Chain A
Amino acid sequence: MDYLYSLYIEFLNKFNLPFHLGDFIAMVSFPLLPFCIVAAALIVIVIFLVLMERKVLAFFTQRKGPNRVGPWGLFQTISDAIKLLCKENITPTGAEKFMFNLAPLLAFVPVMVVWGLIPFSSEFDFMSYSVSALLFVTIASIPILGILLAGYASNNKYSLIGSVRAVAQAISYELPLIFVLLSVVVLSSSLNLKQIVLAQISAYPICGWFIFPAFLGFLIVFICSIAELNRCPFDLPEAESELVSGYNTEYSGMKFAFFFLAEYAMMFIMCAFIATLFLGGFLSPFGFYLSEKLISNEFWSNVFVYFEQVFWIFLKTFFLIYCMMLVRATLPRLKTHQLTGFAWKVLLPLSFLNLLIVCLIKGVA
């Protein structure tokens, strides 16, 4: 990040602005820039993800999926978003007005925050703290508050049951997730996500990835993140055959769009998080970067390495997302008590076992 900052000041000083205005602009705008980039990127990714999900599900069920708006249906999500924006903002008469309107924001804003915590490349880690892994888990659990609030404030029984289910689910599935995170911390001796990625560098490509010592942990985190995201087969809070649409039954228009956006954005972020923890994050699977080999100019090859690293983490993330979609297309929904029982009786003990295995491996090595 410091390197980028110096590059940025250098770029601004080229204009020879008076009164050190270049330095001043850099100081003020530099923290804002990543935010703008991150926010814009997230929206674009969500728009693409929704289309991808529909296309992938269509592929599994032998349909064509959206193909009317734009070539290959590319603008379908955009037109859907415009439709949502144009809809009337309805607040039901019986609802708690303030909390009803607060809930979508509570669900959406933390998602934006955790998005900045992911290290996209060795330079593009916009919010790098010594405890960023812990911070990620902490902030990522805030949206559930928004869901609880939505269910409570809607004054709708379906919403209430849906939100209560969501909370029970979140509490159950966060514990194994944190214990697996602990095992990754043991392996990398750091809570900083970038350091966790850098700890996965090894002499041979791929071999250093934490998926190998903590494969069990990887599976647990994958399952837990599906549950955290309320996706099939853990989509009980929105089980449409029982609860119409769950906690967001009463929401429409932009407020619904916020929930929707948060859900898909969180899906991408969770998968990026798993990729960071277990699949070497932004590291190349070949052990070297293609831009190092292809571009002879040292400066440009360095710049392109950063973008190549972004490409690698995106590739890994999309692979995980594809797996999640595959799961959604395959499995039926679980039952409430099966769901919590699975978390407490199966996943939690297994996450202890995973921690034990990892500690033994770390001790031996």
Chain B
Amino acid sequence: MTNQESTRMKINIGPQHPSTHGVLRLVLELDGEIIKSCEPIIGYLHRGMEKMAENRTYLQYLPTVDRIDYLGGFFNAYAFCDAVESLAQIEVSERTQYIRVLTMEMNRLSSHLLWLGTFMLDMGATSPLFYTFRDREEILSLFEELTGQRMMYNYYTFGGLRHDVTNVWLEKITDFIKKMPRKIQDYENIITDNPIFVTRTENIGIISKHAALQYSITGPNLRASGIEVDYRKQNPYLVYNELDFDIPSAENGDSFDRYTLRIAEMYECLKIISQCVAWLIENPGEVVSSVKQPLLKVPEGEFISNVEAPRGVCSCYVKSDGTGTPYRAKWRTGSYYAVQILPKLLENSFYPDLMAIFGSLDVILPEVDR
């Protein structure tokens, strides 16, 4: 052992630690306050989501997929429904599609709000957590009113939805999104212009364009690096091509850019939501599918559906052998790849930067382990 190595300290962050957003374990090697190496150890939350699909019917599997990313349950449910609908060639009515977009964007908003609060908590500011949770609470209450659940919604069915939305509910959303821009502006006022926050996040944890592509980073983390890839624009699914919204992007790929990008995305979410609400109020229709859900048999074939989830592209691969259960299901989620790049980002950075980098990547562990 050389002299330099003997002064290093190995320190374990997690799996039970106040700030790992779940059960991630990081084995760090510290030289004073500088991180020399980092080894993420995952698998503490592995529930066998993919294997579970193989001995359940399609309908039995559907409620469980909400748990893959518990902060964005609608995205997972949609990815799975989309794969099954495409394989079984089930028609989805336009109203259903609009409601799906509406709920998914609301979900994205709540997910980003939670991220903002916990990110600031990681940085040592406690107040934003309560502010963002207050707004998220309103979204969750709306979801609860719609689906009966606050997080594990189980609202989508193959070819439709459990039940239609009411106009009263839509009006509540209109009220909600009216006051949101001012609130997000408030958060920006206390966070974006804060010199401590800016110096702590600027030029920290830079993901270059090249590295982002190399490590298959997707979602806001990729767009913060200056690559404008968003499946809602490039590969429009549902009714996204009929909606008017922008894809925010940033240049540097540092923690600060990832923050500003998610803030910008929240405004875009509001834009999409208001368009959906306007359309839904004017166009009533049928959303409950006529497909016999429990007896659904999917013809032989395979399909990959891609969804732009809050934490990157969420892909669901389903292979069917013609029976009532999937032959194989495979999930690809954004967080997994964000954890992969962590050792590269943390090398030679300061120990307090750990949370400024890790927090900005918006990783949640159930999505990594599945």
Contact = CB atoms under 8 A, between A and B. Distances in A.
Given A233-B124, A240-B18, A332 B197 contact: yes
Nearest to B359: A241
A332 B18 contact: no
Contact of B131 (A62, A328, A330): A62
Contacts of B355: 241-242
A236 B126 contact: no
Interface stretch (A4-12, A290-298, A335-343, A349-357): A335-343
Contacts of A332: 120, 123-125, 194, 196-197, 200
B297 to A, nearest CB: 50
B240 interface: no
Contact of A239 (B9, B30, B134, B352): B352
Pick from B11, B121, B131, B353 the residue with the most CB of A within 10 Å: B11
B123 A333 contact: yes
A235 interface: yes
B126 A331 contact: no
Contact of A236 (B125, B129, B134, B352): B352
A242 B199 CA distance: 18
B124 A232 contact: yes
Contacts of A63: 130
B168 interface: no
Interface residues of A, number: 28
A224 to B, nearest CB: 17
A61 B127 contact: yes
Interface string B344-367: 000000111111000100000000
A62 B127 CA distance: 9
Contacts of B190: 330
Interface in B185-222: 190, 194, 196-197, 199-200
A92 to B, nearest CB: 16
A337 B127 CA distance: 24
Interface in A151-165: 157-158, 161
Interface string A251-290: 0000000000000000000000000000000000000000
Contacts of B197: 332
Residue among A232, A333, A337 with the most chain B CB within 10 A?
A333
Contact of B19 (A61, A240, A328): A240
A337 B190 CA distance: 23
A62 B199 CA distance: 28
B127 A329 contact: yes
A241 B350 contact: no
Contacts of A333: 123-125, 196, 200, 352
A61 B130 contact: yes
B123 A244 contact: no
A235 B131 CA distance: 22
A60 interface: yes
A328 B9 CA distance: 31
A57 interface: yes
Nearest to B195: A331
A242 B125 CA distance: 14
A335 B353 contact: yes
A330 B350 contact: no
Given A62-B131, A336-B350, A244 B196 contact: no
A62 B190 CA distance: 16
Interface in B31-56: 33
Contacts of A334: 196, 200
A236 B33 CA distance: 12
Contacts of A337: 33, 350
B162 interface: no
A242 B194 contact: no
B17 interface: yes
Contacts of A244: 17-18
A239 B9 CA distance: 18
Nearest to A331: B196
Contacts of A233: 124, 196
Please indicate which of the listed interface residues A158, A241, A242, A329 has the most CB atoms of chain B within 10 Å of its own CB: A241
A236 B350 CA distance: 13
B122 interface: yes
Given A329-B126, A329-B127, A157 B121 contact: no
A239 B200 CA distance: 15
B180 to A, nearest CB: 16
A61 B33 contact: no
A241 B196 contact: no
Contacts of A236: 352
A61 to B, nearest CB: 4
Contacts of B127: 57, 60-61, 329-330
Contact of A241 (B18, B30, B194, B199): B18
Interface in B88-135: 120-127, 129-131, 134
Interface of B: 9, 11, 17-19, 30, 33, 120-127, 129-131, 134, 190, 194, 196-197, 199-200, 350-355, 359
16 contacts: A57-B127, A61-B126, A239-B124, A242-B354, A329-B126, A329-B127, A330-B190, A332-B123, A332-B194, A332-B200, A334-B196, A335-B200, A336-B351, A336-B352, A337-B350, A338-B199
Closest 4 CB pairs of A and B: A333-B124, A61-B130, A241-B19, A332-B125
